[in-house]
Structure 1
Amino acid sequence: MASCSDANKLIIHLPDDQQDIEPIILNLASGELGETNLSDLPITTLPLGDSEKRWLVVGICVNKIINPLLRKHVDSRLMTLYSTLKSVHQIDNQGYPRHQKKFPPKSRSTLNYENINSNVALKKNHAAFNYNVTSHVDFAKLFLLPHMAKFSAFDDTCDASALLGLICNIQGNCFDIHLKREAGILRSRIRNPWAHCNFSDWDELKYMESFQVMNSLIAHLNLPDNEEKNKRSELTDWEKKGMKICFGSSVDVKVVAELKEETKSLAKYILRTERLQQDETESIIRHLQEIEENMEKFQLSVQNSVQRDEFAEVYRDLKDLSLDQQIMSEEISQIKDKQKKVRKLQKTSWQN
C-alpha cells in the first residue's frame, strides 16, 4: 500500500495495482495542482453559543463601524471648539490661578489638567502645573478621567469609552443634543455591558436593541447622505450575518474566516486602547482568544473533511481513468495481434 499526506495530515492509501496514479495524488496533496476553494462551502453550525455570537458581532460593529465614525466627528467638533477658545480665552498660554477652570464656565465639572503636560507627576501641586493647552487633543483630555485620557490622537489609540465620554461630558453646543442622548444610551446600554462579558445578557432583544441604537447614533452624526447610507448598509449586513449564525442558517467558510479575522482585530484593539479595569480587560481578551481558537479549529476540521471528500472523488476518477486505460491497452493489443495476422497472411500469399 502506498500513502501520501498533506500539511493537514490527510492520508491517501492506494491499492498495489494503482501505483501508476500515485504521482498525481501526491501532486494534489502537496497543492501543486491548485488549492481547494472553500469560500462557497455551506456550514450549518459554529462552535459558539448563540449569546457569544451576538456579543461578538456587536463588539465587531462597535469597533469596525461606530468607533471610526465617532473619532472623525469628535475630532472635527473639538478642533473647532479649541480654535475658538484659543482665540477668545488664550487657553494655549495660560497660568495658575487664572487658567480656564470649567467649560462652559457654569459647568459643574472642573477641567482635569492632570491629564496633560505630565502634570500628574506633580501630584496635587496645582500651582506648579503647566496649564497651556496646545492642541485640541489635549483639550479633550481635560474632560476625562486619567485612565481614559491615554490617547495621542483621534485614531486607534482613542477608544469607545473616551469618545462616548467626550460627547456625553462636554456641555454646551459642541455636540448635538440628540447625539449626546444616543451616545449616552450606547455607553450605558451597549458598550459598558459588552465590556462585562456577561453572555447571558445578550439575548435576541439585546441584539436587536444594539443595532437600533447604533443606527440611531449614525443618524445624528450629520454624515453625507452616501456615507450614512453605506454605514447603515454595513451595519445591516453584519446584523444579518449575526442572525444567520445564531438561528441555524447555513453560513459559508468565507463568513467564518471574516469573523475570525475581525475577532483577532478586536482583541488587538482591546489590548492596545481600551481603558478598562484590569479584570475586565483580561476577561474580554480571554473570551475573544477562545472564540478565535474555536473558529480556527472549526475551519481546519471543515477543510480536512472537504479535502478528504475531494481526494476520495479524485481517487475514484483516476481509478476509472486507469481502468479505461487498461481497456484501451487491451484493445490496442488485440488490434496489433490482428495486424500481425494480416501481415502474415499477406506474406504467405506473396510467396505462393
Structure 2
Amino acid sequence: MDEEPSTSCGIKRRIPSELQDNINAIATKYSREAAISAALNDNQKRWLVIGICLHTILSPALRKWVESILTIFQNDLINNYNIDTQMYSNQLRSDPQNGVFLNYETVNNNKTKYGKNYPKYDYTIKNAVELSKLYLQTNMAHYTGFDDTCDISHLLCLILEIARFDPVIKADADNVRKNVRNPWAHCDFTEWDASKYSSSFQLLKKLVHDLKLNLNEETLIIEEMEKWEINGECFLSGTTYGFELFHEVRQQTHVLAVYATLVATEADGNFIKIRDKIEKFENIFNKIAQLDKELKKGFSEIDKRLLAQDNTLKTHSTHIGK
C-alpha cells in the first residue's frame, strides 16, 4: 500500500479531496499525449515529418549545391557563347550539351514586360539564377533567388533538365521527385505508412550522399535527417518523450506553413492544398500548446496550495513541540 506523502518534518500529509479532484480533472482534461493522438494519426505525422525534411533540410542543401554548379556553368557559357551580352537573333537557343530549348520568357521579367514581343526581350544572362530559369516553364520560374522562393520542385526539375548535372544525381533526383516529393505534394495520407516513411528517408539520404559534399557538410545534413527520422518515430509513439519533441515539431510546422503560404498561388493547386493542410496542423499544435500551458498553470496552483498546507503543518508541529 502506498504511503501518504509527508512534510519535511515527517508529519503525514493527506492531499485534500478537493485538491485530488482538481488533479484528476486537470490530468483528464489536458492529457497532452491523448490530444496529439486524437488530432493526428500516424500517417499524418509521417507526412508532416517528411515535409519538414524536404523543405528545411534537403532544400537548403540543394540550393547551395545547385547554385555552385550553375555558377561554373554560367561562366563557361559566358566564355564560349557570350550569354551575358547576347541580343535578339543571336541568343543561345538551346543547351549546348543536350539540346534542351531555352525559355527566355522566364528571365529578366520578359514575359511580364513584353508578352510575346520577342525582339524587345532582354536576352542577357548575368547570374546563375537567371540561367536556371531558362530551363523551366514560364509558370514555374517565379523565384527570385536560390532562397526560400526556390522550392524542392524547382531544384529537382533543374537537376533533371540541365545536362551539366551528373547522371547518378539525376537518377537520385528523379527517385526523390517521383517517390517522395510528388506523393507528399498530393497530400494522400493513406500512402504514408511505416514502409513509405522508411524508404523515403533512404532516398533522401542517398541523394545527399551522391552530391559528394565535403565530409563535414554531408555528415551534418545526414545527422539532421536521421534526427528527424528517429524523433519522428518517437513523436508517433505518443510517449512522454514524444511530447517533449512536440515543441520542435510545432516550430518547424510553422516554418513549413510560412513557406507554403509564400509559394502557394491560385495556379498551383497542390501548394494551396498543402498550405491548407499544414495550417490545420499548425492550428492543432497551437491548441495543444495552449492545453500544455493551462496544464502547467493548473498544477502550479495546486503546488502553491500544497506548499501552504505544508507551512501550516510545520507551524502546528512547532507549537506542539513547545
Q: For residue 109 of structure 2, what is the amino acid of its counterpart?
A: S
Equivalent pair of 1:82/1:139 in contact (CA under 8 Å) = yes
1:188 matched residue in structure 2:
178
2:290 matched residue in structure 1:
300
With over 3 angstroms needed to count, the CA separation of the structure-2 counterparts of 1:178 and 1:98, relative to structure 1, is same
With over 3 angstroms needed to count, the CA separation of the structure-2 counterparts of 1:45 and 1:104, relative to structure 1, is farther
2:86 matched residue in structure 1:
94
1:314 matched residue in structure 2:
304
Separation of aligned partners in 2, 1:136 and 1:321: 71
Separation of aligned partners in 2, 1:179 and 1:79: 18
Are 2:34 and 1:51 aligned?
no
Separation of aligned partners in 2, 1:137 and 1:282: 25
Separation of aligned partners in 2, 1:270 and 1:287: 10
Equivalent pair of 1:45/1:251 in contact (CA under 8 Å) = no
Residue 270 of structure 1: which of 241, 260, 265 is its match?
260
1:153 matched residue in structure 2:
145
Separation of aligned partners in 2, 1:274 and 1:91: 32
Residue range with higher mean Cα deviation, 297-306 or 144-153: 297-306
TM-score, length of structure 1 as denominator length = 0.76
Residue range with higher mean Cα deviation, 208-217 or 143-152: 143-152
How far has the Cα of 1:42 moved from its partner? 9.1
**% identical aligned pairs:** 32
Residue range with higher mean Cα deviation, 148-157 or 58-67: 148-157
How far has the Cα of 1:307 moved from its partner? 3.6
How far has the Cα of 1:151 moved from its partner? 1.6
Separation of aligned partners in 2, 1:182 and 1:133: 29
With over 3 angstroms needed to count, the CA separation of the structure-2 counterparts of 1:287 and 1:56, relative to structure 1, is same
Bigger Rg over Cα: 1
TM-score, length of structure 2 as denominator length = 0.83
Equivalent pair of 1:45/1:248 in contact (CA under 8 Å) = no
Residue range with higher mean Cα deviation, 74-83 or 285-294: 285-294
How far has the Cα of 1:279 moved from its partner? 2.9
2:120 matched residue in structure 1:
128
Separation of aligned partners in 1, 2:53 and 2:260: 14
With over 3 angstroms needed to count, the CA separation of the structure-2 counterparts of 1:215 and 1:81, relative to structure 1, is same
Are 2:111 and 1:117 aligned?
no
With over 3 angstroms needed to count, the CA separation of the structure-2 counterparts of 1:295 and 1:73, relative to structure 1, is same
Residue range with higher mean Cα deviation, 236-245 or 312-321: 312-321
Q: Which runs of 5+ in 2 are unaligned?
A: 1-15, 17-30
Separation of aligned partners in 1, 2:87 and 2:97: 17
How far has the Cα of 1:317 moved from its partner? 3.0
Separation of aligned partners in 1, 2:235 and 2:244: 13
Separation of aligned partners in 2, 1:275 and 1:103: 30
How far has the Cα of 1:242 moved from its partner? 1.3
Equivalent pair of 1:75/1:154 in contact (CA under 8 Å) = yes
Equivalent pair of 2:32/2:292 in contact (CA under 8 Å) = no
How far has the Cα of 1:228 moved from its partner? 1.2
How far has the Cα of 1:86 moved from its partner? 0.4
Separation of aligned partners in 1, 2:241 and 2:146: 36
Q: Which runs of 5+ in 1 are unaligned?
A: 1-14, 16-40, 333-352
Separation of aligned partners in 2, 1:303 and 1:250: 16
Residue 199 of structure 1: which of 186, 189, 194 is its match?
189
Equivalent pair of 2:135/2:161 in contact (CA under 8 Å) = yes
Deviations 1:220-263 (A, max 9, x none): 11111122112111111100111122244433544111111100
Are 2:213 and 1:213 aligned?
no
How far has the Cα of 1:96 moved from its partner? 2.5
Equivalent pair of 1:244/1:251 in contact (CA under 8 Å) = yes
2:5 matched residue in structure 1:
none
Q: For residue 220 of structure 1, what is the amino acid of its counterpart?
A: D
Residue range with higher mean Cα deviation, 156-165 or 303-312: 303-312
Equivalent pair of 1:147/1:275 in contact (CA under 8 Å) = no
Matched residue SS, 1:251: helix
Residue 244 of structure 1: which of 234, 237, 240 is its match?
234
Residue 227 of structure 1: which of 214, 217, 239 is its match?
217
Separation of aligned partners in 1, 2:122 and 2:173: 32
Q: For residue 203 of structure 1, what is the amino acid of its counterpart?
A: D
Equivalent pair of 1:167/1:175 in contact (CA under 8 Å) = yes
Equivalent pair of 1:195/1:280 in contact (CA under 8 Å) = yes
How far has the Cα of 1:51 moved from its partner? 1.0
